Amino acid sequence: MNSTNPAAGDVTTIDLTMTPEDATVHDTLCALQAPSGMQRVSDLITAVGGRTARGSAFNPMEVKRVTERLLAAGHATRDNQGRVQATGPHAAERFRSMMLDTVRGTAWFDAWRKLNDFDRAYSLGFQEEEQLAAAMRLVLFGGRKLSHVRRLGELAYSFTHLWVGALQKAVLQPFDSALFGSLEPPLQTDLAQRLMTLLSGFSEVGVRPLEDWLLRAHADPISASLVTASLRLRLSETLLFRDQAEKARAMCANVSGASVNLHLSLFNIAEGQWSAGATEFELAAKQAVLDLGRRKHLASPSISWLYVMALLSQTTPAAWSKARKFVVSEAGLSPAKAAPGKRDADPYSYWGVWIDAIDQRMGDAPKTAQRFCLARREHSGLQSLQYLHHLMLAAWLRVEVIAPADLRAHAERLA
């Protein structure tokens, strides 16, 4: 998107029937982004210093009067709770242009900060993910500082269940390289670390623009310091799964510690060195236990599954048992709960499907296709990489497929 796009101007630039008062209310709706009541809109206009054509403050009745014009012209919508919001795509373009204007973006953040008593409040009462995502965008792209985001996090104790989804919406839906580039470097690194840990390597297309931004930053001597060693390891996974193995290895250059050795062993597995790569992983894991002070979660599950796959590629039950022991440990299950054949492991959890597949292969559980998700399901909670695991393990077991055409279409969409 181009910040000079005429459609990014206020509402009067796209509708000559609109007035400066309409533009003031519309800009406020664009700044708020999420559905808001008349009082909320009025309070933010007051905090930012907006005035009517008569020079008076906007009260809720004035806001309602103007909002009716915006609604009639199609520049705003009203939800079933009576709240209003600006309509897209102009609303998103306008928010973007206001945030890219440093003075204007700061003014909107400062007004929101004052309205919410941001620096002294005990909590902010967000009940919806979209409301929190909207607040995040304003704090991120208007405030632009890591300290502001951390302060928002301090107020998140009552809505922690919304935080991860809201963060993904705020930064990645869509990802805007210009807005992200306007943030202070420590905030860029912090956000990248959080989102790459959540999504990178799990084959989610939504994170790809951020990965591309980080790859460009790493290649630029001016911005390379933004990409920490842990981010470089994440990016090495990105490159590996993009079939760029040489670049993946290069990304690990000058990164020290056991973690990089784990990655390099997994790269060897990905290139077909099943037995040797598995042995290298086990040796690196022994050192990682000493370095990290823990016995599990030594590598990200987004790549450590390659070790399990290498063990399952062998023909001996002993190797399969070793694979099972590894995934049970990574899943955090007790030996009693994960006893062969008990099926206490949730097949929709990351490692649960591996446990179940191994049990089926070893004859400790009946073979059944119903334990595998062979088509995309709404609200399953599965990431794309998990869908891939279900397909691979079902193929390994040669389970009977009821709808091969649907399976083929699902596999093509994943690819």
* pLDDT tens for each residue of 211-257: 999 999 999 999 999 999 999 999 999 999 999 999 999 999 999 98
* pTM, to two decimals: 0.90
The dihedrals phi and psi of 166, each to the nearest 5 degrees, come to -65, -40
Q: How far is CA 13 from CA 16, 20, 21, 30, 68, in A?
A: 7, 11, 13, 15, 19
Instruction: Inform me whether the pLDDT recorded for 210 exceeds 90.
Output: yes
Q: How far is CA 138 from each of CA 12, 99, 128, 310, 401, rounded to the nearest angstrom?
A: 23, 8, 16, 46, 48
pLDDT over 80 (residue 283): yes
Task: Enter the tokens of residue 196.
Answer: 């790459």
Residue 207 has pLDDT above 80, yes or no: yes
Which residue type does 23 have?
Answer: A
Reported as a single tens digit per residue, the pLDDT across 176-205 is 999 999 999 999 999 999 999 988 877 788
Q: Residue 412: is its pLDDT beyond 90?
A: no
Quote the percentage of the chain above a pLDDT of 70: 96
Is the pLDDT reported for residue 401 higher than 90? no
Percentage of the chain lying above the pLDDT 90 cut:
76
Question: pLDDT at position 2, please?
Answer: 36
402-407 mean pLDDT: 83
Lowest model confidence (mean pLDDT) among 289-303, 307-321, 361-375, 381-395:
361-375
Region of poorest pLDDT, from 231-235, 299-303, 337-341? 337-341
Domain boundaries, the chain: 6-179, 184-252, 256-314, 326-415
Is the pLDDT at 346 greater than 50, yes or no?
yes
Q: What is the largest CA-CA distance in the chain?
A: 84
Q: What is the mean pLDDT of residues 140-165?
A: 91
Q: Tell which wins on pLDDT, 55 or 212.
A: 212
Q: Are 200 and 265 in contact (CB under 8 A)?
A: no
* Average pLDDT of the segment spanning 3-29: 84
